[in-house]
Every structure is written in C-alpha cells, then in structure tokens.
Structure 1
Amino acid sequence: MRQSLYALCVLCCISYWSAAQKTLKSEFIYEEAPFKNCHASTVEETPDGIVAAWFGGTHEKHPDVEIYFSKRHPSGWSTPVSVANGIQHDKKRYPCWNPVLFQVPNGPLLLFYKVGPDPRNWWGELIESTDGGKTWSLPRRLPEDILGPVKNKPVMLSDGRLLCPSSKEVEINGQDHWQVFVEETSDLGKTWKISEALNDGVKTNAIQPSILTYPDGRLQMLCRSKENRLMSFWSNDQGKSWDTIEITNIPNPNSGTDAVSLADGRQVLVYNPTERYKGKWGGPRSPLDVAISSDGKNWKQLVRLESEEGEFSYPAVIQAKDGTIHITYTHKRTHVKYVQLALP
C-alpha cells in the first residue's frame, strides 16, 4: 500500500514538473476591469509584441458588451480599453461578439468582430490599426452574409488570399442548425468571396472552424459541434474546395476550440476533452488541455491548463516568432487568462 502511494506521488510530481517545464508564463491579463463578464478572447503577435482582445460587459448578449484590447509589455499587460462597440445612435445599441485579431505581414493589424442581438442575427465589422493597436480606424461593416472569421484566426496563403473560417447558425424547417463556410479576401476585406455551406446542418452540425496548414499543401478545418466530437474538413487545393465533413475521435462538449500549425509542420489544439451532458445543451468546460499532432488525426496531450471545477473555455492560440506558444482563454467568465508555453 505504501509503495503504491509512493508511486502515485512520484507520478504526480513528475506530471507537475513536466507541466511546469513547459509553462513559461501563466497570468491574468487584468485583475480589475470596467465590466463584470468576459468571453471569446483572441491573441496575436505584432511587431511590437503580444496583444489580445475579447468581449466584455454586463453579460453575454447585453447591449453594453464591447470589444476590449490589451497589449503585453515587459512589466505586464496594459489596462484594457474599449476599441469597438455596437452603438447605432443615441437610442439603440447592440452587443459585440467574438473578436479575431490578425497581423497582416508588413501591414496593418486587423480586428474582425460581430455586432447584433444574437448569433443568428449578427453581422461582421472590421477595424484596423497601423500602430500595433494604439489607435484604430472607424469601423467598417462587412458585406451582407460576410461575417469574417467567426471565432478563430484567418490564414494567409502564398497567393495572397486570406482564408477566413466562418460559420452560421441558420433556421432549417423551424430548427436551429450549424453550417460551416469559408470566406476569402485578397485585398484585406474590401472585396469578398464566400463558399457554399460545407455541411447540411442537419445530420452534422459544425461551427467556429480553425484552419490548419500542412507541409504537403493540404488544409484542414477543425470545428466545434453538437455531436460530442470535433468535426473535420480537408482540402487538397488550398481551400478552393473541401471534402465531406468527418467526425473525429476528439471529444467536444459543444464548446469552442482553437488550433494552430507550427513552423515544424506539427499542429497544436487547445480544447475541453469532455462530452456534453446527456439531454442538455452544453457540457463541462473543464478541464482545458493542449494537445499536439503530426497528422491532424492522432493527438497527444501536451499539458493540462486547468483542471478544477468551473468554466475554462473559448481558447485562442498562436505560435510566436521565437517558437513559443501563446494562449488566451475565458477563466470563469470573469477574467481572461494568458499562458506562454515552450514546445517539446
């Protein structure tokens, strides 16, 4: 019995030491903020450093929800500031949703976000900054039916096309269904193309894709679903067409995920490795894990970010120029947490 307990303690110590070795930083972006509730963060690297954004307000769907932005300095994160809101005029405003940051190579920092009463009736807007987020342009409403990247970052291909992973919650025969689309722009959001729906939203529901790239030229999208598993699409022609949707073996409790392609060809996924409660809409959004894969099909846990009870959800992930991984996520709906990881 003592030997078993000793062995268990050793394993726990090894696991803790391993996680600690991978984690370079783990901190809240802010301790106090002018909002009670927050969600749906996004993270990006600019020439001046790491920046993040998220939506915050009284609660999700409240008209006072705005997009907040912060930059990481050597001394810590800057005080969050509002950079976008849904004010229409002095008598009407709508909540903001799901910001997505994207640093254009040798160009501006783009911030896509949504405005509207709910995900079935929102629309896409875009602002940009030429000074790393110190100042921003006036908002530009995207064309009808174009949302921009709905939760996770776009990918710029070698031909200059910016592929934006998008999705819509649509009504089919009186019921709400989820469908994935791919939007693309070659002029940073001035003109757009949009694909047909990639799934029917009846047999399979999928939203909030992440786009992954592979050394052989293939692309993959991993998506949130209602079916207790992540969904996957593959493209062999740089996103011009996509294969039929596949159900993966990766658990998903009807919660957002994010994934990124590494410089060495591997892939990193941040997700809740759980299933939704039977008969209920949502599921447990804890624990929160980081996994790694070389083929997009077989994933191995890299580190566990959170394991206590509560909501740890909607991650965003990038790889910085120095090779480290940067992650932000919702921490119990009151804070945004930031983690920097070293790769094995």
Structure 2
Amino acid sequence: MKVLQERTIPTPCVSNHASNLLELGNGDLLCAWFGGSMEGSSDISIYMARYDHGRDTWLDPVRMSDDAMRSEQNPALFRHPSGELWLLYTAQEKADQGTAVVRLRRSADEGRIWSETVDLIGRPGTFIRHAPVVNPAGLLLLPIWHSDMHNAFGDDYSLVQVSADGGRSWDAVEVPDSRGCVHMDILENCRVAFFRRRQSDFIFRCVSEDGGLSWSAPQPTTLPNNNSSIQARELDDGRLAIVYNEIAAAGRPGESAVPPWIKDREAFLSACGTIENGAIWGVPRNPLVLSTSTDLGLTWRKELVLEADAALRSVHDERGAFVGDYSYPSIIQTSDGLVQVSYSYLRDYIKHETLLT
C-alpha cells in the first residue's frame, strides 16, 4: 500500500480525538469525532464534517451534541438496514466513565438533517467505540463494554448487544474471559473481532461460528498494543487490514496507572481502590501502522507506517501528555477501491489519508 493524499479535517477545537469514517452514496465521506478543551471535560462535544468528493475538500464541521453537563465521546457512524444513518456516541458526567450512557441521532437524508438525541442504552457505565454490524440473519450487533474505574479501568469487560427489531430493544451477550479486552471491533463478516487490551501487551482476537451470537474467549495476536484503540476492516480482495500503534508496555518511565487526561491524579487513584493487574497507561501512541492478514488475523504482514515521529508535540499540550500521539484510527474501503484512514494527530486535529491498495 502507499499514501496517495493527506488532508487535515478543519476543527474549531484545541483537542480532537476518536474519529470515525463513513462513505455516503454519492461518494462523499462523513467523519465524526469528539472535540473541546480536553477529554473528560464538560465542554467536549461530538463534531462532524463532510468531505465533498466533487470538490475534493473537507467542509467546516458541525457540532452534533451539546449537553453542558456531560462529556460526549467516541462517536460511531452506521448505515442502518433501513437506509438511515445513525450517529451513536457516549455521554458521561465529566471524567466519570461509570456514568456513561449511549446516545443516538438519526438521519434519513444522508446526514444533512438529524433527529433529536435519544438514549439508546441507558445503563450507566456503558461505552462504545465501534459501530454496529448486521449479521447474516439481519440482526444488529453492537459491541460495548462496561467501564469501571476499579483498577484504573483494568476491570472492564466486553459484551455484544443484539437487536432483532432494528434497535428498538436489545439483549446482551457476554464475551467470555474478556477482562481488560475492550473496544471490541466486530468485522462485517461477523466471524472475527479484535480488541484493545487494557494491560497494554497485545491486540486480542476472538471468533464466532454463529454469526456473532456467541464468541470464543479473546486470545492474544502477534500484534503489540499500547492500551489504545484499533480498527480493522475486510478489504475487497479478502484481506483484513488493521490500523494500530505498534508498541506495547516495556517498563518505560512514563507508564502509569493513571490515564493521561486525568488532571487530579490523587483523587483518581483514591476512587480506584487497590489496583491489582490494572490498566497500563502512558505507553507512547506511535508508530501508527497498517498491517494486513489473509487468515482472519492469525498472522499479519506490515504494509505501511503512517506516522512515526515520537518527539513531535502540540503547542496545546501544556502537560506533555500527548507527545508523538497518533491514535484512535478509523479505516474504510470506499466504492472506488481506495482505502481511507483517519486518526488523531497530536490531538490537534483529525488527519485523513487516502491509500492505494
């Protein structure tokens, strides 16, 4: 693979993170992310921008959420079987992920007009990162995890919400032995899924033999993981492509039990209780790499290094928490056969790259 073009998506925010891409029927793209002063602050909202395919430019973003009491994060874009577009995201009380609920807006006109916001999943502590998929039987599968500050989020575990009525009601299926495995990314074939790993060692993988209604226990792949989000997609030629930070914990001085966005470390650690085998934070989020697999993720081939400057620092990063941070990727293959990747660039903005396979 090779990079054909790089673009910067415009933003009014000093901090931007967790992008998600979707192609529209006319070849335009939508990109959603969260932005504001800092992750976990009440001014964090969901933003969305449209790439005008005909003019080859990203248009100015639109603010899609505005709950002054909550930090709104992790947007996911989904084409519902009805043809509607869905924008899903989480909404929590400031930095307390244990209060998060999943919210939803819908569009029937390719993202120009959106419905009012409703709570899709109201159980406190429910988090998402990836969009639902539709299994061969037509059921919606939405991967979630229940976020828990105990062990500094090291006790999180994954589930799949299953809906047989288009999303009006949901049943939960637990992923066995998934402690620490979150951000479950179910591929559209519903045969394999990949996880971010809280303990910052490897990307984990599990499989399903029944269209995603039950899953094997997650097992480590050969790909390192730094407790940062990953995303994978199946390409038209049958290969799986995954974008991730190719680095794991190794006892570096910056590694910590405290997430980088937490301002009051002592208060956070007091709320966590005794930390045993908790999450590992502070592992650098670089390099950002794209790899492919021809055997459903059992073995991988490195294709491309997207970013690798470990020393670059944003002028907005006063605490030095996000030096060399290129993270939270989204990857899709568009109808023209090209691969589109977006990711957080030092949290300054969302970067968009177009790749030739």
TM > 0.5 fold call: yes
Using a 3 Å threshold, how does the CA distance of structure 1 residues 155 and 196 change in structure 2: closer, same or farther?
A: same
Could you tell me how far apart the structure 1 residues matched to 2:330 and 2:124 are? 22
Which letter maps to 1:99?
A: P
1:148 Cα deviation (Å)? 8.0
| Contact 2:101/2:126 (<8 A) preserved | no
1:139 Cα deviation (Å)? 0.5
1:141 Cα deviation (Å)? 0.4
Using a 3 Å threshold, how does the CA distance of structure 1 residues 333 and 111 change in structure 2: closer, same or farther?
A: same
Residue 312 of structure 1, aligned match among 326, 333, 343: 326
1:147 Cα deviation (Å)? 8.1
Using a 3 Å threshold, how does the CA distance of structure 1 residues 174 and 76 change in structure 2: closer, same or farther?
A: closer
Structure label with greater radius of gyration? 1
- Map of 1:291 onto structure 2: 291
- Please list the CA deviations of residues 189-236 of structure 1 after superposition, one character each: whole Å capped at 9, or x if unmatched: 2111111243252xxx1110111255xxx6111100114101111111
Could you tell me how far apart the structure 1 residues matched to 2:61 and 2:149 are? 36
Using a 3 Å threshold, how does the CA distance of structure 1 residues 213 and 95 change in structure 2: closer, same or farther?
A: closer
Taking only the aligned residue pairs, the percentage that are identical comes to 30
- Map of 2:186 onto structure 1: 211
Length, aligned pairs only = 310
2:100 aligned with 1:125: no
1:185 Cα deviation (Å)? 2.1
Using a 3 Å threshold, how does the CA distance of structure 1 residues 148 and 266 change in structure 2: closer, same or farther?
A: farther
| Contact 2:97/2:125 (<8 A) preserved | no
2:41 aligned with 1:65: no
Report which structure shows greater RCO (CA 8 Å, sep ≥6). Answer: 2
| Contact 1:152/1:208 (<8 A) preserved | yes
- Please list the CA deviations of residues 136-161 of structure 1 after superposition, one character each: whole Å capped at 9, or x if unmatched: 10011023339887112222123211
1:207-286 alignment runs, 5 A limit: 207-213=182-188, 219-225=191-197, 226-278=199-251, 279-280=255-256, 281-286=281-286
* TM-score of the pair, normalised by structure 1: 0.84
Unaligned runs of 5+ in 2: 257-280, 311-323
Residue 157 of structure 1, aligned match among 124, 135, 143: 135
Could you tell me how far apart the structure 2 residues matched to 1:283 and 1:266 are? 29
* TM-score of the pair, normalised by structure 2: 0.82
- Map of 2:6 onto structure 1: 26
Unaligned runs of 5+ in 1: 1-18, 88-92
CA RMSD of aligned residues (A): 2.1
For structure 1, which segment, 283-292 or 261-270, has the greater mean C-alpha deviation from structure 2 after superposition? 261-270
- Map of 1:40 onto structure 2: 18
- Please list the CA deviations of residues 164-211 of structure 1 after superposition, one character each: whole Å capped at 9, or x if unmatched: 12212236699741201111223332111111243252xxx1110111
For structure 1, which segment, 264-273 or 139-148, has the greater mean C-alpha deviation from structure 2 after superposition? 139-148
1:282 Cα deviation (Å)? 2.5
